[in-house]
């Protein structure tokens, strides 16, 4: 694999960073140790500027090239936060923080961008400015939006932005990407149903919320099967069913349902929210109950820009020999907020035959590090070449 020689030399050091981060996972915006580690490393690399506290606990490093004749500024983004999962890998560097785990590979993303930053700061073989962005709270906290709201793009003059995610099932160190919609919007909802509780032996004296909720769970799937165009992607998942009583002989007064809707088009996102509310109100009324719906619009569809996607794919091919077409992914990704503000692209780097992300036995493959670091470094050097 034609990775950069210097980054191959740094492989062991970057792996040590990654495993240290893996052992000390932090959730959402509470990435205090991770952020401090990142800032310390960036300062040691000799970055021209290191700024903390953007998007609460985000860190930004600025590296100026040996020339700046055109004023080009490229942003590179990695996420830092972990997931609330109990790790089951048995690794010697497994999580030391109970209930938290780097189960999505953000430890690897952070370490790879640090490796690229070290190389870029050493060589400065480009004409312009590279801005490395380390973001908290990707896992449901919209840290990308928080950094954008704090003006990260304007403050550092970023003109284009690029991101990367590891992906199990793709050969280690190879790449995959697609233009246009790539990751789905990720909304969630809570439905509170209220009826009339009572004794399970006298259902006729109650308004049975469990029956009401059961019908609603089934009815909501009609959004996918009967409201959306069959050739378009939409997912409706009920992920939690909680009753106000756990007794075997009580019909509960209340039931709370929670779930998520994922789509790849804004109009489908609108349809999903509209029909969820209509079906919920209609179903609860049919059974004589009441319903309250709370709907939360979280991450928008992540859309890769065409020109930047072609460029990112060409860079990946120069590193790995080829770049494949990635599948559509119904998971959410808050890099979408950055791509709404600036042109850019998001790519997948292979993690090999491992457990899938968000699994208690997942582990980032350290063998992907040289390729990932090289891709980020080449993005800077090829997009802002020294004439």
Strand 323-325 relative to strand 175-177, pairing: parallel
Is 358 assigned to a binding site?
Answer: yes
Q: Is the dihedral of CA 183, 187, 354, 27 positive or negative?
A: positive
Q: Closest Cα to residue 302, out of 250, 265, 249, 354?
A: 265
Helix axes 306-320, 369-383, angle to 10 degrees: 130
Q: In what order do the strands lie in the sheet with 160-168?
A: 49-54, 58-64, 129-135, 73-79, 160-168, 344-352, 175-177, 323-325
Backbone angles phi, psi at 43, to 5 degrees: -65, -40
Q: Is the dihedral of CA 361, 364, 367, 371 positive or negative?
A: positive
Q: Is the dihedral of CA 314, 315, 319, 323 positive or negative?
A: negative
Tokens found for residue 259: 């779930």
Backbone angles phi, psi at 82, to 5 degrees: -105, -170
Is 205 assigned to a binding site?
Answer: no
Question: For residue 140, with 0-12 CB atoms within 10 Å meaning exposed, 13-18 middle and 19 or more buried, which class applies?
Answer: middle
Residues 6+ apart with CB under 8 A from 281: 291, 293
Is 148 assigned to a binding site?
Answer: no
d(CA 17, CA 11): 10
The beta strands (E) that lie in 195-317 are given as 198-199, 234-243, 250-251, 254-263, 290-299, 302-304
Q: How far is CA 384 from CA 127, 306, 321, in A?
A: 5, 19, 21
**Span between the terminal Cα atoms of the chain, in Å:** 27
Most distant CA atoms of the chain, gap in Å: 84
For residue 131, the surrounding DSSP H or E stretch is: strand 129-135
Radius of gyration of the chain (CA): 23
For the annotated binding site, the residues are 104, 106, 139, 165, 358
The annotation places the binding site for Mn(2+) at 104, 106, 139, 165, 358
């Amino acid at each position: 694999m034609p990775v950069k020689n210097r980054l191959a030399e740094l492989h062991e050091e970057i792996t040590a960073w990654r495993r240290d981060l893996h052992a000390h996972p932090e959730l959402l915006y509470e990435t205090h140790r991770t952020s401090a580690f990142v800032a310390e490393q960036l300062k040691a690399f000799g970055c021209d500027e290191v700024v903390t506290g953007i998007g609460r606990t985000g860190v930004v490093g600025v590296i100026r090239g040996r020339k700046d004749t055109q004023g080009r500024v490229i942003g590179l983004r990695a996420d830092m936060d972990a997931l609330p999962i109990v790790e089951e890998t048995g690794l010697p560097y497994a999580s030391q923080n109970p209930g938290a785990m780097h189960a999505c590979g953000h430890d690897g993303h952070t370490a790879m961008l640090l490796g690229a930053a070290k190389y870029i700061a050493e060589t400065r073989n480009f004409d312009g400015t590279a801005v490395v962005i380390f973001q908290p709270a990707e896992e449901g906290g919209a840290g990308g939006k928080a950094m954008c709201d704090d003006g990260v793009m304007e403050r550092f003059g970023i003109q284009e932005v690029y991101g990367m995610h590891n992906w199990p099932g793709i050969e280690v160190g190879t790449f995959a990407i697609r233009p246009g919609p790539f990751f789905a919007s990720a909304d969630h909802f809570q439905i509170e149903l209220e009826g009339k509780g009572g004794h399970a032996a006298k259902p006729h004296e109650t308004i049975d919320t469990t029956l009401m909720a059961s019908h609603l769970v089934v009815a909501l799937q009609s959004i996918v099967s009967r409201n959306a165009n069959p050739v378009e992607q939409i997912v409706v998942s009920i992920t939690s069913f909680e009753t106000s009583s756990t007794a075997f002989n009580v019909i509960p007064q209340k039931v709370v349902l929670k779930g998520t809707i994922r789509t790849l088009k804004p109009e489908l996102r609108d349809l999903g929210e509209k029909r969820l509310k209509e079906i919920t109100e209609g179903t609860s009324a049919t059974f004589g109950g009441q319903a309250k719906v709370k709907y939360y619009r979280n991450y928008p569809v992540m859309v890769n820009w065409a020109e930047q996607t072609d460029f990112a794919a060409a860079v990946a091919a120069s590193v790995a020999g080829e770049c494949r077409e990635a599948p559509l992914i119904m998971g959410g990704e808050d890099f979408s907020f950055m791509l709404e503000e600036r042109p850019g692209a998001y790519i997948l780097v292979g993690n090999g035959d491992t457990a899938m992300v968000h699994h208690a036995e997942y582990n980032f493959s350290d063998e992907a590090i040289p390729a990932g670091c090289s891709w980020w470094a080449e993005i800077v050097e090829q997009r802002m070449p020294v004439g």
